[in-house]
């Protein structure tokens, strides 16, 4: 009789352990899913704007969600819109996550040829929700070192679409 009671008690304990383990797995799984969803929402709410211009040149690139809009028209009438490939978007987001957006306004440009029309004047703007961070003007083609990889990636994605 004692043996039967011990076996029943062990079975009940084992069932409770399985329930707790399943509950912990579900909690961990839902936490990871929630974190992934929040990261995706932040990515979708992020807007990136790159603009370069001088008297005879104009380029503006907007990235919102999975799309890129590009124009060379000062009046913003001729805008081309493209769907960014997932691997390119992921690479860009990885570069942006390595960048401290709050430091953008204080970045010093490596050269200032834009001041005398020696190069198109450019700036990068990153918006996350209500917060917008914009760089000081820099030479198109010579961004500050802290954002060089991001600007190069944006321009390489644009070039990818021009080749098609």
Q: What is the pLDDT of residues 108-122, one digit of tens each?
A: 999 999 998 889 999
**pLDDT-derived band at 1, boundaries 50, 70, 90:** low
Two structure tokens written together for 112: 């200032």
Q: Are 132 and 126 in contact (CB under 8 A)?
A: yes
Average pLDDT over residues 34-43: 50
44 pLDDT exceeds 60?
no
Q: What is the mean pLDDT of residues 151-155?
A: 96
147-161 average pLDDT score: 94
| Beta-bridge partners for 58 | 53
pLDDT tens-digit map of 58-117: 999 999 999 999 999 999 899 999 999 999 999 999 999 999 999 999 999 999 999 988
Q: Which residue has the higher pLDDT, 42 or 155?
A: 155
Which one is predicted more confidently, 42 or 125? 125
Which pLDDT does position 12 carry in this prediction?
Answer: 65
């Amino acid at each position: 009789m004692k043996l039967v009671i011990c076996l029943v008690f062990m079975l009940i304990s084992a069932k409770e352990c399985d329930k707790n383990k399943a509950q912990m797995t579900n909690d961990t799984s839902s936490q990871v899913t929630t974190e992934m969803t929040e990261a995706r929402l932040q990515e979708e709410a992020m807007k990136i704007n790159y603009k370069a211009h001088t008297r005879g040149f104009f380029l503006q690139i907007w990235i919102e969600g999975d799309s890129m809009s590009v124009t060379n028209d000062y009046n913003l009438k001729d805008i081309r819109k493209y769907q960014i490939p997932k691997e390119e978007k992921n690479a860009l987001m990885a570069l942006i996550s390595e960048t401290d957006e709050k430091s953008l306004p204080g970045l010093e440009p490596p050269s200032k040829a834009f001041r005398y029309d020696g190069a198109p004047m450019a700036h990068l703007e990153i918006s996350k929700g209500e917060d917008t961070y914009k760089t000081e003007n820099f030479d198109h083609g010579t961004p500050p070192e802290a954002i060089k990889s991001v600007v190069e990636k944006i321009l390489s994605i644009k070039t990818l679409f021009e080749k098609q």
